[in-house]
Structure 1
Amino acid sequence: MAQPSATAVPSTPPQPGRPAGERDAFFDNAKYLAILLVATGHAWEPLRDGSRTVSALYMFVYAFHMPAFVVVAGYFSRSFDASPRRLRRLVTGVALPYVVFETAYTLWTRWTDDAPDRPVSLLDPLYLTWFLAALFIWRLTTPVWRSVRWPLPLALGVAVAASMTPSIGEGLDLQRTLQFLPYFVLGLCLKPEHFRLVRRRSARVLAVPVFAGALGVAYWAVPRMSGAWFYHRDSVQELGAPGWAGLVMTPVVFGCSTLLVACFLAWVPGRRTWFTTLGAGTLYGYLLHGFVAQGSEPWGWYDPAWVHEPLGIVVVTAVAATVVTVLCTPPVRRLFRCVMEPDLTWAFHDRGAARRTPVSHAFATLPEPPAGEVR
């Protein structure tokens, strides 16, 4: 893996005939497909009991869908230099949505879980908000990873140490933040040529048996191991393993997940499709679909017996995919832009510069690679 320099990675010139600022369809497609897997994974969660097939699919998807999300987030963070302009966008595009949705999820949980006394705590990320807290921390540390000589091995070492340290606790969900850190740093290390490599025909062909083999291993592993190894939210001791297992399992899980992320990216279309424009709203889909997912069980959506049969599983999957797709559409983004992309120019010095820098979502708080960068 080529190591990054301390400066921003130069971008590839855009293809002739395309505007320099046009978004690259490949990344928008990848973000949409990743959030689709996140939503379907949450929809499958209540269906796992009694179904080895659903449990295997769940484990398989969880092995790479969030790592893919985090790798792409890291790739779009390559230019973060902690300058005032970047920090403004980090605060308005990540920190403020975290405060809003942490509060909203707490109030929602009080109702759906019948827990009226649950306090609002910004130090204890609830449900999906852990990703915003983690992204804030990862982005702040980006200059460090951009300046050290071996960022990926160092980040993997941090993840190993975290997995062996149950005393880290649940504050800011640091256990998960540190264990997912290598995927973010991997994204920082990637360059356009690496994406071109996985987009080759040979990579797409190889991805098929790898995915098939991973599904087979997941089916075999369901009664034999916990899928929580892929959640990265617990220490190895909390998973019932001795502390030294972190030295082995953390690199092994990272290697397996990274391989599956590469296979996933190999099959992401590089051309514009009907869902390309939805890739710009993936953070909306990510944060908003959680309210539906959390309310589905208390509302009794999984109570009918037919829902747990093959046809019901297909219906649940289709509904989840439809819901998250709708939540990524422009009308929904316009409706919730006031909390996801607020205009806080009044809160900062140099307001003119802030106005010239539009606030955007977590994956685009930095300049998009030019169109044509990844084929």
Structure 2
Amino acid sequence: MSHDTLNRTATPARPETGGATATATMAPAAPAPDVATSGRPAPGTGSPAKPSGHANSHAQTGTKTDAKADAKSDAKADAKAKPRDAFFDNAKYLAIVLVAMGHSWEPLRDGSRTAAALYITVYAFHMPAFIIISGYFSRSFDMRKDRLQRLITGVAVPYILFEVAYTLFKKWADDDPGYPISLTDPWYLTWFLLALFVWRLTTPLWKIVRWPVPLALSIAVLASLSPDIGDDMDLQRVLQFLPFFVIGLSLRPEHFKLVRRKKARILAVPVFAAALVFAYWAAPRMNAAWFYHRDAAQELAAPWWSGAVMTLAMFGCSLVLVACFFAWIPGRTMWCTALGAGTLYGYLLHGFLAKGSRFWDWYDNPWMHTPWGAVLLTLIAGTVVTLLCTPPIQRTFRWAMEPKMTWAFKKDPVGMARTRT
């Protein structure tokens, strides 16, 4: 699930959450004020008297003074951060909690139909919700230098670091020394960072096409029919989840207000209840791998045409459940709101425990498969991922999640001039 989306990409202050990380607002910088149109008389106007050398000097001095004042004002405006929106931080935090809970339920599905139904329901909407938020906060992305730098430091660098870290962890914890490090074949949770990098780079293209969502959905359908795409860059997931990112790019604040009305909150209750009932019925009959969007239909032992049917059907179901999820998200500041800025940390770091629990056979204990064991496991998963989103963890791992890396980029002459002014 961010980085800029899970974390920064999905916060109004700056570019992601969630994933968790998850995905930040990249608002366009204000243009430098034009002295000739800033409400002050242009030099050399207002008096018909013949200008003298002294007058010219005075006019030039005034122009320079005005320019300095404008530069200072512009620098202050750029430095002033937009306030965070509590709604999106709450949404990212609750979504990352559901991610961790879903991972804790995965080994319980074979012995518990209830766990399988909850797992299917959560997987139908938690990643689409993260991706929609990531797309929403990518609307202003362009190829401007500072935004490309944030994309590299906030998405590409964490992807490389955690892809290597996860691979080394698997070699050690799973006793698999031959498992290769591959930056083109993301393992476990890192696929979201690679996908977000690709999606965000394509943002300018989606802004110029006339029907972006139908086009993205057509690409997803074609991907589900194409088993030859392979595993490189997890391209199936990149393409099959693409419509949700493009929907996020197309949304406006009024669309979120629409699903947060009281009527929508009430309507979401029976809709979500119906989804749980259907999931309980479908759990023993349906291949849960459809929800991962990482395989073509033929790779799931299904006829080729079922890829198109399932892609469209699941797209519609996911959108409905995402709307229900957003309808229940509080818009006020709560105890967990501040944790929404750390969803990338929770997303990437909890993966070591989630995978470690399998490598170290924690689920072999029969008590874990009892109802009380499942409840306790769910609470532990929610608590652990919450702790991993806290400020102390963010400060500890910021060097990997949000490196500044000023040494790696050329100096911006315009920015340096403004700073000197």
TM-score by length of 1: 0.88
1:361 is matched with none
Residue number in structure 1 paired with 2:72: none
Counterpart position of 1:224: 285
Paired with 1:9 and 1:342, the residues of 2 have a C-alpha distance of 21
Q: Which residue of 1 aligns with 2:53?
A: none
Q: Deviations 1:262-287 (Å, cap 9, x if unpaired)? A: 00000000000110000000011000
Alignment-derived partner of residue 143 in structure 2: 82
Are 2:85 and 1:24 equivalent residues in the alignment?
A: yes
1:344 is displaced (CA, Å) by 0.8
- Shift in Å, 1:191: 0.3
Between the two proteins, the alignment pairs up a number of residues equal to: 341
Please identify the structure whose Cα radius of gyration is greater. Answer: 2
Structure-2 separation of matches of 1:272 and 1:312? 33
CA distance in structure 2 between the partners assigned to 1:354 and 1:164 by the alignment? 48
Give yes or no for the alignment of 1:309 onto 2:370. yes
Q: Shift in Å at residue 300 of structure 1?
A: 2.9
Q: Which residue of 1 aligns with 2:185?
A: 124
Q: Which residue does 1:106 correspond to in 2?
A: 167
What is the CA–CA distance in structure 1 between the aligned matches of 2:143 and 2:150, rounded to whole Å?
10
Q: What whole-Å deviation, never above 9, does each CA across 1:291-332 have from its counterpart, x for those lacking one?
A: 000101222321221110010001100010011000000000
Which piece of structure 1 moves more, 311-320 or 236-245? 236-245
CA distance in 1, matches of 2:415, 2:27: 24
Q: What's 2:336 paired with?
A: 275
Residues 4-83 of structure 1 aligned to structure 2 (within 5 Å): 21-83=82-144
The residue that corresponds to 1:197 in the other structure is 258
- Secondary structure class of the residue paired with 1:64: helix
Gaps of at least 5 residues in structure 2 are 1-25, 29-79
- Residues 246 and 24 (structure 1), Cα distance of their counterparts in 2 relative to 1, 3 Å cut: same
- Please say if 1:322 is aligned against 2:383: yes
Aligned counterpart, 1:137: 198
Q: Distance in 2 between matches of 1:305 and 1:271?
A: 42
- Deviating beyond 6 angstroms after TM superposition, the runs of 4 or more aligned structure 1 residues are 352-356
Q: Which of 341, 345, 363 lines up with 1:284 in the alignment?
A: 345
User: Can you list the C-alpha shifts for 1:228-270, whole angstroms capped at 9, x where unaligned?
Assistant: 1111011011112111122221111100001000000000000
2:407 aligned with 1:340: no
Residue of 207, 215, 224 corresponding to 1:154: 215
CA separation of 1:354/1:25 partners in 2, compared to 1, >3 Å: closer, same or farther? farther
Output the CA distance in 2 between the equivalents of 1:155 and 1:252: 15
The residue identity in structure 2 corresponding to 1:187 is: G
Q: Do residues 176 (structure 1) and 228 (structure 2) align?
A: no
- Are the counterparts in 2 of residues 345 and 355 from structure 1 also a CA contact under 8 Å? no
Q: Return the alpha-carbon distance in structure 2 between the equivalents of residues 61 and 210 of structure 1.
A: 14
TM-score, normalised on structure 2? 0.79
Tell me which amino acid in the other structure corresponds to 2:183: L
Cα deviation for residue 354 of structure 1 reads: 8.2
Among the aligned pairs, what percent are the same residue?
Answer: 66
More relative contact order, 1 or 2 (CA 8 Å, 6+ apart)? 1
What amino acid is aligned across from residue 236 of structure 1 in structure 2?
A
